[in-house]
Structures are given as structure tokens and as C-alpha cells.
């Protein structure tokens, strides 16, 4: 429950901000957060993953709402959910098992860097237009360098916000480092930060200090309904007559694909952060997300995914079961019903401090040190993923990291397709090539190079005793070498232990100069 409270405090401005940045009503973000917490939380078998509005979908959602209109866009959200549910049924989620650890670690570090970068302006009081974009991946633009936004925001720094941020960070560091405070499980540091932030700012306001943090741009802004009818009026329903519109289907498929990939990435990352190292079913998660998105579209919400910021906050707050994700959804629902006025007193600087601490944990120097010690085959894809995600976006960055990781996998695969050893005998040099258990087409290039560099007038023994499978392309390569390639260098070729199915009966071929 306490972990759920911490996630709620992080999720609240995210829900509102991402909805506004997407061109949707602010209340739509709350709808999505509540469904992501309660419904997806109940249906998912992930113990630590938390779902809600996805910043990675903002660009798609903005364009879709502009092009289709909001009620028609909601049909696309329903369709996206239906497609995700079908993907879960046909077990498409198994693709997540192929994400390398180095890429997942790189993605987490990059997100930590982006969170810190995006939160510094909010931490010093430059909240001219809070768009909830501290999980937007875009870090560079045509007119903005890496530090431009931060330097520009210093011109608008608010002393009161800076004081609140410093005190908040000090409290969070204390709860992480001071043994006595670390033992207090009943009160999370993030909750103390919020309470202290509200009290401190109310003191500034009551004494008329210039340090007072006022104005919607510096505080949490939650929609406030004056009556039940006004509250119900904030919900929207889809225009189901647009179900046959091809443009709606294009948007629905696009949302489904991007949301599914982001969810699977975050699910894998969440499992790696889980202190109990449990595994989650990707197919169950896709079905849960599908139901969540269908329900969200039906009552006026925006698309959702599993979100790494919420998940990280959840793990850091000590979550052990999915009850925390469900609790955060319940807290979001209660907040808009009961205490919107109180929550609107929370300074954004408090939430910025909480997120900066999350970013520092994700991008800890210890992670870089650990990945360095794992070797270059892990470190290079890791650091490439970090840089690529930071300077592009999540999907492109992970794609680049995967490409580099696959390159190293292919190199390793080529090297370990066979065992190569030389022995000296009195009749001359004998070279043994013992094929590995699996020899795929990926190994063809390496085997071809080895055969091409065999010394003249030698003997080569190719042993398939350990093999379970040899690809057809590799068998053709061996046949060609046996019948043609070995002639030029007068090489004796002996094949041993090849299965009858390979149609490569054990043979010895001796080529003389007469051949």
C-alpha cells in the first residue's frame, strides 16, 4: 500500500501531463492511470510492473486526435486493445525473451539520464508549461542542444522551488543512507517529501514571502468537478460508426505495435529490477494491456503501456506484489473524487526531486562499472544503447542497441560453430574440425573461411559426432569442398560420423596431382 502511494505521487502528474501533451483532456490521463492500475494490475501476473499513459505514444496520439477527432480516435484505442489481446492469445509476447540484458540495462540507464535532464527545469521552478514530458525520450531538437533547455531555465529559476527541491533531495538521501530511517518501512521517503513540501510552501504563502510557490504552472493541477454530473461529464465515448474507417485501423495497428513493444521492453526491465527475480508472462501482459486499452477507449481514456518510471518507483519503494500497482490506481481514483484541492497544493519541485532520485538510481555509476567488467561484447551494446536512446527515442535507440548486440552474437556464433585443432603426425599435418551441436547458416561464412585457408598437401578430418543439426547450406558447402575445393590444394578430406539424413556418408577423398 505504501509503495502504491509513492507510485501514485509519481503517476499523478504523469497522467495529467501526458494527456495534455497528447492533445487530450487532462481527465483522460486519470482514466488511463486508474484502469492501468486497477484493471491491468489485476489481470497482469507481473509483480512489480505498473501501467498508465505512455509518453512514448504522445506523437502518435497527437497526430491521430488532430486527424480523426477525439471520439473517432477512441475507436482506434479500442481497436489497439483488441489487437494486443489477440497478440497475447497467439503468444506473440515470446519475442521479449530475445531482448539481450545489455540492451535492457542500456535502456534503463538512458531513461535515468533523460529523467534527470527533463526534471532539472521543474526542480528549479521553471514550469512555464508543464507537459509531463519528464519521460519524453526526445532530448535533442533542431533548435535545442543537450544543455540548452537547462541553461535557459536558469534565467527563470524560482528560489522557493530550489529550496523545496534541495530539502526534498536531502530527505530522500537520508531515507536511503541513514540506517535508522531505512528501517522505517511504514513511511516512505517520497511521502515525507510531499508532506514537507506542502507545509513549507504553505508557510511561505502565509507569511507573504517571495519564496512562495504559486500558480498552476508550479503546482500539481488536478481537474476539480463541482458536482457529480460535472464529474460524469468528463468521460467520453467512442464514435463506433467510424469502426470501418481505414484510417482508424491504421492508427489502431500503429498504437498496438508501438504500445506492445514498449510494454514488453518495460516488462523485461521490471523483471530485472524485481528484488525477488521473478519472471512475468509476456503473453498474459499483452492480454491484460489489451483489455485495459479497450476499456480505456470505451470511456474516454488514452492508450497505456507498462511504464518504466512508475515501475522503477514501485520497486524502489519496496513493492513485493502487484497489490501496489492496484493500490496506486485506487489512490488515483480517490484523489479525483475526494481530495483534488489538497493534491493541487503539491509543488512540482517535490515530484521533480523524487524523479531525479529515481534517475540517479537508474543511471548509477555502479551500472557502468558492472557492465564494463562483463566484457566488451556486453559493454559495447550497452553503451551504444544508452547513447542511442538518449539522442533519439526509446524504440529507435533500442533498435540500434539490438543491431549492435546481434552483430556480436553473430560473431560469437560463427566462432563457436566448430572446434579447430591441429596435430602433428609423421606423415604430415592433420587438421581436425569438430562440428558443434548446432551448425546454422550463420556459421557458413566462418567455415568457408577456414576451409579456404587450409594449407596445401594437408589432411583435414571433419567430425560430426556431436551434431544434432547441420543447416543445408553448410552441407552444400562441405560437399563442394569435398568434390571440388580440395582438388586445387591436393588436400585429403575425411568425413566422420555424419548422419544418414545428411546424405554425406563417411568418406575419404584423396586428390592426387592426376586429378
Which one, of 88, 132, 91, lies nearest residue 294 by Cα?
88
Q: Rounded distance, CA 510 to CA 515, Å?
A: 9
What lies within 8 Å, CB to CB, of 94 at 6+ separation is 282, 283
For residues 251 and 64, the answer to whether their CB atoms sit within 8 Å is: yes
Q: Rounded distance, CA 107 to CA 388, Å?
A: 9
What lies within 8 Å, CB to CB, of 13 at 6+ separation is 130, 132, 220, 348, 351
Q: How confident is the model at residue 421 (pLDDT cuts 50, 70, 90)?
A: low
pLDDT of 35 > 60? The answer is: yes
| Residue 223 or residue 167, greater confidence | 167
Beta-bridge mates of residue 121: none
Q: Rounded distance, CA 116 to CA 110, Å?
A: 10
Q: Rounded distance, CA 139 to CA 146, Å?
A: 7
- For 193-240, how does the pLDDT look when each residue is reduced to its tens digit (9 = 90+)? 888 999 999 999 999 888 888 876 788 777 787 778 888 888 999 999
Q: Rounded distance, CA 175 to CA 331, Å?
A: 23
| Residue 185 or residue 485, greater confidence | 485
Q: Rounded distance, CA 403 to CA 412, Å?
A: 14
Q: What is the pLDDT of residue 328?
A: 95
| Burial (0-12, 13-18, 19+ Cβ within 10 Å), 13 | buried
Q: How confident is the model at residue 500 (pLDDT cuts 50, 70, 90)?
A: confident
Q: Rounded distance, CA 265 to CA 305, Å?
A: 10
Residue with cell 483534488: 340
For the segment 460-479, the average pLDDT, to the nearest whole number, is 83
Q: What is the pLDDT of residue 135?
A: 35
pLDDT of 130 > 60? The answer is: no
Taking the alpha carbons of 57, 60, 66, 72 in that order, is the dihedral positive or negative?
A: negative
For the segment 372-395, the average pLDDT, to the nearest whole number, is 86
Q: Rounded distance, CA 495 to CA 506, Å?
A: 5
- For 298-325, how does the pLDDT look when each residue is reduced to its tens digit (9 = 90+)? 999 999 999 888 898 899 888 899 999 9
In this structure, how many other beta carbons lie within 10 angstroms of the beta carbon of residue 359? 24
For residues 238 and 298, the answer to whether their CB atoms sit within 8 Å is: yes
Q: What is the pLDDT of residue 333?
A: 93
Q: Rounded distance, CA 213 to CA 165, Å?
A: 12
In this structure, how many other beta carbons lie within 10 angstroms of the beta carbon of residue 342? 12
Residue spans per domain, the chain: 2-141+151-366, 416-509
For the segment 370-377, the average pLDDT, to the nearest whole number, is 84
3-state SS string over 166-214? HHHHHHHHHHHHCHHHHCCCCCCHHHHHHHHHHHHHHHHHHCCCCCCCC
For residues 79 and 252, the answer to whether their CB atoms sit within 8 Å is: yes
Q: Rounded distance, CA 270 to CA 49, Å?
A: 6
Q: Rounded distance, CA 356 to CA 117, Å?
A: 9
C-alpha cell at 426: 609423421
pTM of the model: 0.68
Domain boundaries 416-509, CATH class: alpha beta
pLDDT of 165 > 50? The answer is: yes
Q: How confident is the model at residue 368 (pLDDT cuts 50, 70, 90)?
A: very high
- State whether residue 142 is helix, strand or coil: coil
- State whether residue 38 is helix, strand or coil: helix
pLDDT of 505 > 80? The answer is: no
> Between the ranges 4-18, 45-59, 69-83, 180-194, where is the mean pLDDT highest?
69-83
For the segment 373-391, the average pLDDT, to the nearest whole number, is 88
For residues 67 and 53, the answer to whether their CB atoms sit within 8 Å is: no
Q: What average pLDDT does the chain have? A: 82
Which one, of 223, 210, 174, 226, lies nearest residue 12 by Cα?
223
Amino acid at each position: 500500500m505504501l509503495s502504491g502511494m509513492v507510485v501514485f505521487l509519481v503517476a499523478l502528474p504523469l497522467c495529467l501531463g501526458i494527456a495534455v501533451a497528447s492533445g487530450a483532456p487532462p481527465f483522460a490521463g486519470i482514466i488511463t492511470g486508474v484502469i492501468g492500475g486497477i484493471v491491468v494490475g489485476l489481470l497482469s501476473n507481473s509483480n512489480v510492473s505498473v501501467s498508465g499513459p505512455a509518453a512514448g505514444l504522445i506523437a502518435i496520439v497527437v497526430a491521430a486526435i488532430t486527424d480523426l477527432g477525439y471520439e473517432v480516435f477512441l475507436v482506434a484505442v479500442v481497436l489497439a486493445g483488441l489487437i494486443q489481446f489477440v497478440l497475447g492469445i497467439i503468444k506473440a509476447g515470446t519475442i521479449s525473451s530475445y531482448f539481450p540484458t545489455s540492451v535492457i540495462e542500456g535502456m534503463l540507464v538512458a531513461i535515468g539520464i533523460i529523467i534527470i535532464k527533463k526534471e532539472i527545469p521543474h526542480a528549479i521552478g521553471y514550469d512555464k508549461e508543464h507537459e509531463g514530458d519528464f519521460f519524453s525520450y526526445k532530448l535533442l531538437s533542431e533548435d535545442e542542444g543537450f544543455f540548452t533547455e537547462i541553461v535557459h531555465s536558469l534565467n527563470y529559476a524560482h528560489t522557493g522551488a530550489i529550496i523545496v527541491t534541495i530539502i526534498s533531495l536531502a530527505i530522500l538521501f537520508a531515507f536511503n543512507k541513514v540506517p535508522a530511517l531505512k528501517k522505517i518501512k511504514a513511511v516512505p521517503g517520497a511521502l515525507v517529501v510531499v508532506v514537507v513540501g506542502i507545509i513549507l510552501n504553505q508557510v511561505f504563502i502565509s507569511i507573504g514571502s517571495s519564496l512562495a510557490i504559486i500558480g498552476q504552472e508550479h503546482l500539481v493541477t488536478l481537474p476539480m468537478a463541482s458536482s457529480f454530473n460535472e464529474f460524469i461529464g468528463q468521460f467520453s465515448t467512442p464514435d463506433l460508426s467510424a469502426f470501418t474507417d481505414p484510417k482508424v485501423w491504421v492508427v489502431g495497428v500503429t498504437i498496438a505495435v508501438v504500445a506492445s513493444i514498449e510494454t514488453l521492453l518495460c516488462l523485461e526491465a521490471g523483471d530485472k529490477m524485481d528484488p525477488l527475480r521473478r519472471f512475468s508472462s509476456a503473453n498474459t501482459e499483452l492480454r491484460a494491456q489489451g483489455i485495459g486499452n479497450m476499456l480505456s477507449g470505451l470511456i474516454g481514456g488514452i492508450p497505456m503501456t507498462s511504464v518504466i518510471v512508475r515501475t522503477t518507483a514501485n520497486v524502489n519503494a519496496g513493492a513485493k506484489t502487484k497489490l501496489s500497482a492496484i493500490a496506486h490506481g485506487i489512490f488515483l481514483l480517490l484523489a479525483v473524487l475526494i481530495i483534488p484541492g489538497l493534491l493541487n497544493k503539491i509543488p512540482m519541485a517535490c515530484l521533480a526531486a523524487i524523479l531525479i532520485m529515481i534517475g540517479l538510481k537508474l543511471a548509477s555509476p555502479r551500472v557502468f562499472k558492472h557492465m564494463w567488467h562483463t566484457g566488451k561484447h556486453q559493454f559495447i551494446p550497452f553503451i551504444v544503447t544508452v547513447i542511442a536512446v538518449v539522442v533519439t527515442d526509446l524504440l529507435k535507440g533500442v533498435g540500434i542497441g539490438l543491431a549492435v548486440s546481434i552483430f556480436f552474437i553473430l560473431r560469437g556464433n560463427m566462432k563457436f560453430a566448430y572446434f579447430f585443432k591441429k596435430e602433428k603426425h609423421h606423415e604430415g599435418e592433420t587438421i581436425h574440425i569438430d562440428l558443434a551441436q548446432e551448425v546454422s547458416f550463420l556459421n557458413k561464412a566462418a567455415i568457408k573461411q577456414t576451409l579456404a585457408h587450409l594449407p596445401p598437401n594437408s589432411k583435414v578430418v571433419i567430425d560430426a559426432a556431436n551434431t544434432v543439426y547441420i543447416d543445408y547450406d553448410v552441407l552444400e558447402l562441405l560437399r563442394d569442398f569435398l568434390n571440388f575445393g580440395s582438388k586445387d590444394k591436393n588436400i585429403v578430406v575425411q568425413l566422420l560420423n555424419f548422419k544418414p539424413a545428411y546424405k554425406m556418408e563417411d568418406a575419404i577423398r584423396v586428390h592426387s596431382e592426376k586429378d
